[in-house]
Amino acid sequence: MAALLMAVYFQGMTDEETLALTRIMIDSGERWDWSHLDGPVGDKHSTGGVGDKVSLVLAPLLAACGVYVPMVSGRGLGHTGGTLDKMESIPGYRTDLTHDDFDRLLRSVGYAMGGQTGAFAPLDKELYALRDVTGTVESIPLITASIMSKKIAEGLDALVLDVKWGDGAFMRRRDDAERLAERLIRIGGEFGLKTEALLTDMNQPLGRAVGHALELGEAIAMLRGEPVEGRLREVVEGLAARLLVVSGADAGEAAAAGRVRRALAEGGALERFRKNVEAQGGDPRVTDDPARLPSAPVRRELRAPRAGWIARLPAHAIGEELVEIGGGRRVKGEAVDLGVGFEFPRTVGERVEEGETWCVVHARSDADADLAQQRLEGIVAWSDSAVEPPPVITARFA
């Protein structure tokens, strides 16, 4: 198998070969069937990024709009965070769900958030472990088969993909991300799964928070209708609207976008989130009091050395620094500190006055805060003139 993976890594695979591998991986386990539900079933998959808390908002938002979401998520590894780790910031929250748990939660709440059960696409788990040790992780055919085998086995009617590119993404180059998006959509179509993809920029963190509990707090703020960073809102609303259209829940983009905004503004998505937290064993009071989430004892404000605009906040370095202070894992199974992280009151394209706080470090010790401060102050880039931030959604593939 290791030899085969190496051959694929260097030689690639045709569409027909990628399709065959995906089918074999699907057939290695069970396929879920949600035909008994009275509405469309959809999900979203992100290729991973820094500060990516989109799923935390998107799942309850879609449920409030009439789409059932059996969201099967992963844990963080390296500089990118994982949805399950973020949700487990909530005291008592359970993510080890069985198929029956998913069924119960879909019926009662409209969505569920759990890890891969091992019941579907178990071959993917074995292959991924081999890819990790043979240096063959970054292969578009192998990535495609891994993602799509699990999503097809989920029994979905529709899937939207958030394919990230840039400094903090798995795919650094945009053209590689485009090729991956096209391959994912093509494989989805071969199995009758309606699939679309948005290409999103990951050259800076998404939102203003990086770190598990901090990101969950930002997601709750958005669900509560509070102002959030514009790029985060654009990605959440863009993915949600497209899934409503692709799944058939709404006929057009304008109607879908309006429905999404109403679900956020009128509290429907927040109520679904509260019900889900309680149904999965968590403390629902976090929706009204995010201070109940884990926190770090040291809070260090980093202040601007001069007035100007933030020109660059490299996402990869920020994600790596989170790992350094304990907020990420380098190997699977390693414990993470859910309370540490960074907040960015100002981000790329925003003006900062001299002495104004542009970053807040949440650390376990003064020593960790010192190291993080030194690192972050060394990577931020300043400009004396106004900076136009790049668009966050850079393309759509269907």
Residue whose C-alpha is closest to residue 23's, from 119, 117, 121, 142: 121
Per the annotation, the verdict on 150 as an active-site residue is yes
**Residue 131 contacts residue 8 (beta carbons within 8 Å):** no
Please tell me the distance from the alpha carbon of residue 127 to that of residue 248, in angstroms, as a whole number: 35
> Any alpha helices (H) in the chain, and if so which ranges?
2-11, 15-27, 54-64, 83-87, 99-108, 122-134, 140-153, 174-190, 212-223, 230-247, 253-265, 268-279, 315-324, 366-379
Q: Are 111 and 276 in contact (CB under 8 A)?
A: yes
Exactly one of 124, 167, 250, 337 is catalytic; name it: 124
Q: What angle do CA 72, 7, 1 make, to 5 degrees?
A: 60
Is residue 51 helix, strand or coil? coil
Residue showing tokens 């106004």: 386
Backbone angles phi, psi at 305, to 5 degrees: -75, -20
Q: Is position 365 annotated as part of the catalytic site?
A: no
Active site residue 131: yes
d(CA 383, CA 349): 9
Q: Which of 150, 151, 208, 272 is catalytic?
A: 150
Q: Which of 44, 45, 151, 164 is catalytic?
A: 45
Find the catalytic residue in 53, 79, 131, 346.
Answer: 131
Selection from 27, 288, 45 nearest residue 153 by Cα: 27
Residues 6+ apart with CB under 8 A from 345: 208, 357, 358, 359, 360
Q: Which of 146, 151, 157, 272 is catalytic?
A: 146
Residue whose pair of structure tokens reads 């093509």 in the numeric block: 186
Round to whole Å and give the CA distance between 284 and 104: 18
Does residue 172 have an active-site annotation? no
146 is catalytic: yes
Q: Are strands 158-165 and 42-46 parallel, antiparallel or unpaired?
A: parallel
Contact (CB, 8 A) for 340 and 326: yes
Q: Which residues are catalytic?
A: 45, 124, 131, 146, 150
